[in-house]
Each structure stands twice: as structure tokens, then as C-alpha cells.
Chains A and B, each alone.
Chain A
Amino acid sequence: MRVKGTYRYDAAPEQVYDLLLDPTALQACIPGCEQLEATGVDQYRAILKVGVSAIRGTFEGDVTISDREPGRSYRMHVTAKGGPGSVSGSATIRLTADGDQTVVDVDGDAKIAGPAAGVAQRLFGGIASSMMNQFFGCLRTRLPSASTAEGR
């Protein structure tokens, strides 16, 4: 499953970059995140409660950040397991200055296995978009200059 999204922020790329990788911001903004604890440099263990209607569950997962280019891009890898199944995926996040704003581009891939794959695959695109929009929207509120620019 492709995971793609583009979001705009009223801030400089370096500011947005730091925000995207701030564990406090992440714990507050990742939807359903109950716990996020650092297990090493750029490594986290997360517990998430997510789902849509009947397909809900608690996921335990590992998040790894790699290929850091401060202010410009990084890669994120996730593997998570829970009742509804397991998810593993990677995404590249790129930040580009556009005048006073920063455009954040997310481009990734996720594989889903387990019960959810067999009964809910039609919903995944929507769930992924919804979660990303929630996450990036929430981050925007934590910017020093909480702006009114809309993400796409």
C-alpha cells in the first residue's frame, strides 16, 4: 500500500524538521499513541490504540529514524504488531522551503498482514490518510507560530 501526503507549515524547514523529530511532539500527535519511549538513538518503542469501527486494536511497535539530513529529509521505519494484524513500512519525509513556508512531502510503503489484511483492506487507504492528516495537523498546532495554513 502506498502512503503519500503533502503538508504545508508557516515556518522554516529547520524548525519543522526539529518538530517532526521531537519525541514529546510525536507522543502528543501520533493518533492513539499511549506510549513512546526512546530505546536508543533514533529508536523508539510505541504503543498505539488505533482502528476504524470494528477493526480496532492495540499495536506495539518499533520506530527507527535513519538517513537524517537535518532540515531536508529523513527516513522512518515502522514495524508494529497487534490483534488486528501487523504493519511494517518505511517512508521518506522531505522538507522544502517555499517562501515563508515549508512543504513536507511524505512518500512511503506499508505492508499489512494478519486478520486486518483479509477483511479491511478496502479501509486502509482511508485509515492511513486520516491518521497522517491528524498527525501533521496536530504538529502544526505545536509550531511557535501556530498558523492557519492548510495541509493537503
Chain B
Amino acid sequence: MKSHSPHSWSEYAISSIIKISGYSAILFVTLIFIFLLRSGLPTLREVDFQSLFGTRWYPIEDYFGLLPLIGGTLIVTVGAAIIAIPFGIGTAIYIAEISPKMVREILKPLVEVLGGLPSVVLGFIGFLILAPYIRRILNLSTGLSALTGSLLLAAISLPTIVSIAEDALDAVPQSYRDAALALGATDWQTIWRVTLPAAKSGVVTAVMLGIGRAIGETMTVMMVTGNAAVIPRGLSALFSPARTMTATIAAEMGEVATGSVHYHILFFIGIVLFLISLFVNVIASAVIFRQKKRSERILS
């Protein structure tokens, strides 16, 4: 027994350290959430509902309409998703299913390097190069628009989508593909009808994480979307400036006096943002959950 004791002591130490870090993650998230609620909820008492749903955001003169900001985030994010999802899944399919091994060895790390690009660098590229081009090509009044933001956000979320979706496709057993091909399916039919559905839960996770990345991104959008708080009306909004919730928090948080109405409402925006990403995540896990149950049914 005695010879065991140093071993079991270190075992105990290591497992409790791991336990602490596990619990501390939960603790920190809870504390952050409590802080967010405590700093944000006073808004509901200080600002009446009508002005919260107003069409104007100009907090230094007490205009607290959130609709332009929510609209801005939605249009920029949806734009990014429309670009990034097909491109991301397409790239993942190419890397996992079609490309020769050599190309794959180069492409995969390249995509991951793209994921490591600091967003402020992309922002600089955005307003110095991309925005002027977009203005000229599409003949817009200004290139600092939701579209520019969407393009850059797509570039930011692509690596996430590609690498996770590619892993999911890679994990599909080779026998599935062999079986499909043996039944006379073409390569494309195999990918579209067999491999992709089999990897569905992983691919959905990839898309959701990618969208999460896009919603939360701050620096890049602040630099390229023009930050005009206008409620998007129709498709033309994609080609005009927009102000996102994250950019608003980042741009204004430094200035506000602690405890003021403006301070509280910036945290309230944080809560709204949190709820939106929670919503996205719940939908994603619901989709994955359903998928699992179905596959379980098939297996049983």
C-alpha cells in the first residue's frame, strides 16, 4: 500500500486540478452571464419598450432604437452565411472526397492558416482594397457596405466551416462510398446522396460554428460596414452601410460612464446577441439530435 501512495497522491492532485479547471469554466461562464444580466437588465426599467423598438440609434441624444442594430447584424451575417456555406461545404467536399492526396496535404493546412489571420488585418484589407473595388464594380455610392462586411466575414468563417466539415466527411466509413459506387452510383451521386447525408451532423455543426464566428466578429465589421444605423429594407440594404451590434458595443463601450443608461443598454445588446447565438445553437443541436435518433432507428 505504502509504495502506491505517491502514485495515488499525484493521481489525486492531477484529477483535482482537472476538476477545478472543469468547474471553473462553468463558474466563469455563470459569472459572466450574471454580470451581463445585472448590467443589461436595468435597461428594461430605464428605457421604455417603445423607444427600444424605435428606428433610430443615437445614444448620446437618448435615441435607443435597437432595430437598426439587430437588422444590421442579421443582414451582414445572413450575407456572410449565403457566401460561406456553399463555398465552405464545397471546399470541404473537394478536400475530403475529390482532391488527390498531394493537393489535400497542401490545402488543408492552408485553410487552417487562413483561420489564424487576425481580424484587424482583414479589416485593413477590407477598407483599403476591397471596399474601393466593390464601389467601382457594383457602382455603389460607397464601398463601406454590408456586402463588404459579409464578404470578409465569409472569409473569416470559411476556415471554421471547411476544417470541421472536412473532418466530418473524412469520418464517414469508406465502406459507405464503396457500397454506393458498387450499386452503380456516380461520384457525384455518392457524395450528394451518401457521404454528405452520413456526415450531416458534423457538417451542420461546422455551419453553425461558422455562423457563430460571423455573428460575434467585431473588428472587421466595424472597419468596413460604415456603421450607419439604418433599418434594412429589402435587398438593397445589402449594398448600403449597416451597423452591427458587436461594432456598436466595441465603438461605444469605451466612452460611456459606468452605470449610465447608455452603459446598461450596451450590455442589453450583449444579452440580445447572446440570445441570438443561443437560438442558433439550439436549432443546430435540435437538427443534430433528430439526425442521431434517426440513425439510431436505422441501426436498431
Q: Do A and B actually bind?
A: no
Residues of chain B whose beta carbon lies under 8 Å from any beta carbon of chain A: none
